[in-house]
Structure 1
Amino acid sequence: MAVLSHFRPCTFWKLIVILVLATILLQAWHMMMLFQLESMVKDKSSSGESQNQSFPDKNDTPQGQIQETGESIESLIKKMWEKVTTANVLDKSGSYVVIDNILEESNSKKDHTQDVTIVTQCSSNHLHHLLTLSKTWNGPISVSVFTHDQDTQFAIYTIAYLIACVKNISKQVLFHIAFPVKNSPLPFDLHDFTVSCNDRIDTFQSKSKHLNYAVEGLEYPNNLLRNIATQAAKTSFVFIVDIDTLPSPEMRMSFNVFIKRHKQFMNSSSPIAFVVPSFEVNSQVDVSSIHTKTDLKKVWNDSKVRPFYFELCWKCQRYTDYEQWGLLPDFDFLEIGYFVDWEDPWEPFFIARKSDLPLYDERFKQYGFNRISQVCESYVKGFRFAVLNNAFLLHHGFKVPGNFHSKKEEEQNRNRQLFREFKKELKLKYPMSDRSC
């Protein structure tokens, strides 16, 4: 009995040690297989893909990207102008003419179901951001362009230039146009000035002086533009961002691998928002040096990078929990870092299944509460918010008070009142939901 009683505890602890070692070995094997899977996808995607990223000024066109892609600029301009002059589709308010995919036969006609589309919108004088965005993302992009009056000429010229001269854009980007009924495009002479792929983009884009929110008598319909671009996306997932931001290199590729690993997210009845932490980058920083989370943390520690809207509205972003995100292990693959309970007024940027997303409320125009309206409704609808461990979004330049158009506060106050009414309406729209915002 003495021998038996001594033997059993020893055997028990040996089994525990063996199980612990086996668990460690299985985890190591799992990590190795994930790394190999990631590497295989990188190898398949690396052909012709550049890792350099920057935020070019419109006067600094990266000429290495410029090469004729096929159809002439003049031919593209004629096709688009014909579309504009014959357009008859209005938005639901009847205030805007909408042209979905102004060049149907060009680019992105493939149905990349298992992929992510960047969805964005802008006025014509911000289209130059697509030069770098398309290069960094290296995948499908859907962009809605707001134009009006004589600005339409510059919008059309710019789109034609980008498609005819930039390979990434001709293959990846779908363009859509919206303009006010009361400010319809003005006719122009095709030969007012000529454009070629030898020109820099500022040659003609600088002729357009109109900013998103500062055109007298016009309201910039940001939510309408987002909806147009979202509905036109041909992929299962969408990532709705501002056109002057850049995703981290390889985010698209890493996310696609992540979804293949977690197929339950493709068909889950529980919608989920994959949150991408967003940052502002000091304008003196060479953004092309920020490839990885490790790179980002170095400049973050030097106070050359900070969380998005840090000065303007910290409470709008702080629930991302940047401190926790920075402490996550720096794996080479994408994974969920942690979940966050949504709280007002958090408005994260996130990737989500297109079929799950509620459309934006198009009553919100100009500045304030336009983006959060969709985040709020997503939460009430039942979305969970999962912060991704390695992905990030960069905005060039710190956002500071005072760098906005003169009517910003007036517009924000008006939209604040609309947002209060909007939240009441959500209670009627989702009567079975126990959530409110």
Structure 2
Amino acid sequence: MRARCVPSIQKVILFMVVLVIMLQVYHIYLMGQLEDFKDTKNYPNSVWDGIMQRVRDAYKTDSSGFYFLVPDILGSNKQHPTDSYDLALVTHTTSNHLHNLVQISKRWAGPISVSVFTHSHDADFALQLIQNLYACYRHIQLNVFFHLVFPVSSHTNITKIPYHDVDCIEEYFAKSSNQNFVLEDKLKYPHNILRNLAIKTLAAKFVLAIDIDIYPSANLLYSFQRDLLSSSSVGDRTAYIVPVFETGENHILSTKQELLQNKNIHPFYANVCHWCQFATDYHRWESLQSSEKLEVAYEVQWKLPYEPFFIAHKSLLPLYEERFKQYGYNRVSQICEMYVAGYKFFVLNNAFLVHKGQKQKNTFYLEKVKDHRENKALFQDFKEELKSRYPDSTRTC
């Protein structure tokens, strides 16, 4: 009987060894999942106090005097290792899209400057979300600068927001995507005020300004630093165009090879404004010879209404025209001025951007047509002003 028990004991021992190994592997997996999160048990109230103090002390406004501008709301500029990077990502958002920052900051391991727009009825949630993102994700704490823009009329209400404990449950961050952001009466989303604030606070020499729901290809930052900065093609009045695509999938593509093999990808705004991205020449870009290096592929000629996303040197880059709010001409006005100022536009061979979701004509807000019409009138005035700003230029929009 004892002889028959020997194999059984060996099997039990073997099972226990395998079980221990599996538990260790699972433990390592869990630790990996929690790697992004900081220990928040002792997270200091001073961070929240600092946020609220900067809100209370807000004094700087935009040129219209309608919005308060609070740069570096966390007062964290001395903690960011940005000196080693020559390229920074610039973006803007409302609270309902801030969750995108988690994935963007994982893909972009360098400085990110994000301006957040809020108002009285949203600020409680927005500030709590900013605090939690900063406290819970190490890569956000290291690389992201947060700025706040809100109506002067909201100031008193925002200063009364009470302290919230840090909450690092991932489901909390997902809640932001399910909330419809509703502006207070007569408020218009100030895209360009937000963009300019994010740009002005950066020390990096080059900037790539994108929307918060657009993701850069993997290694774009590293490739730019390694390949293009030492290239003779780098110039102060040069815009390096990064082709942008749309996908209806949740999976964000990393490499050009992945992108070309995906059947659910098409050029950005293809169903809304075909000509807005047409000059990029997507067919030519897709047929370029494969290369490990990030390089200038070809030059394109700018023509209205072309509004690409691009990398450019910050020193001479015209800021965004802040009179354009809501929908229409807020980005193309800057491109127009760059063209008049003498910029050249070159498409990069391997870098790309992916917009999460596909734009459709019937998905815009109700006042979109009205806002576009008003901004079109402003754009006509803007074009006339450019003739005075650049009297020696032979270019016009």
TM-score, scaled relative to structure 1: 0.79
- Change over 3 Å in CA distance of 1:388–1:150 after alignment to 2: same
**TM-aligned CA deviation for residue 114 of structure 1:** 4.7
Give ranges in structure 1 of 5+ residues lacking alignment.
Answer: 1-61
Q: How many residues align?
A: 364
Look up the match of 2:75. 104
Look up the match of 2:52. 81
- Change over 3 Å in CA distance of 1:74–1:198 after alignment to 2: farther
Matches within 5 A, 1:300-311: 302=263, 304-311=264-271
- Change over 3 Å in CA distance of 1:189–1:175 after alignment to 2: closer
* Distance in 2 between residues matched to 1:309 and 1:335, nearest whole Å: 25
Matches within 5 A, 1:157-168: 157-168=128-139
**TM-aligned CA deviation for residue 427 of structure 1:** 0.8
Q: Residue deviations 1:29-80, cap 9 Å, x none?
A: xxxxxxxxxxxxxxxxxxxxxxxxxxxxxxxxx8653333797264322210
* Distance in 1 between residues matched to 2:226 and 2:79, nearest whole Å: 21
**SS where residue 240 of structure 2 aligns?**
strand
1:247 pairs with 216, 229, 252, which one?
216
1:312 pairs with 268, 272, 283, which one?
272
* Distance in 1 between residues matched to 2:41 and 2:202, nearest whole Å: 24
* Distance in 2 between residues matched to 1:202 and 1:355, nearest whole Å: 36
**TM-aligned CA deviation for residue 264 of structure 1:** 6.0
Query: Which amino acid in the other structure matches residue 219 of structure 1?
Result: K
1:190 pairs with 159, 162, 166, which one?
162
**SS where residue 284 of structure 2 aligns?**
helix
Look up the match of 1:180. 151
- Change over 3 Å in CA distance of 1:77–1:432 after alignment to 2: same
**SS where residue 337 of structure 1 aligns?**
strand
Look up the match of 2:187. 218
2:200 pairs with 231, 235, 259, which one?
231
1:404 pairs with 341, 364, 378, which one?
364
**SS where residue 328 of structure 2 aligns?**
coil
* Distance in 1 between residues matched to 2:34 and 2:380, nearest whole Å: 48
CA RMSD of aligned residues (A): 2.2
- Change over 3 Å in CA distance of 1:204–1:278 after alignment to 2: closer
Matches within 5 A, 1:40-189: 65-68=36-39, 72=43, 74-105=45-76, 109-112=80-83, 114-184=85-155, 186=157, 187-188=159-160
* Distance in 2 between residues matched to 1:279 and 1:127, nearest whole Å: 21
- Change over 3 Å in CA distance of 1:68–1:377 after alignment to 2: farther
Q: Does the CA-based 8 Å contact 1:124-1:147 persist in structure 2?
A: yes
Residue 296 (1) aligns with residue 259 (2): yes
2:244 pairs with 278, 281, 284, which one?
278
TM-score, scaled relative to structure 2: 0.86
Structure 1 outlier segments of 4+, above 6 Å: none
**SS where residue 65 of structure 1 aligns?**
coil
**TM-aligned CA deviation for residue 234 of structure 1:** 1.4
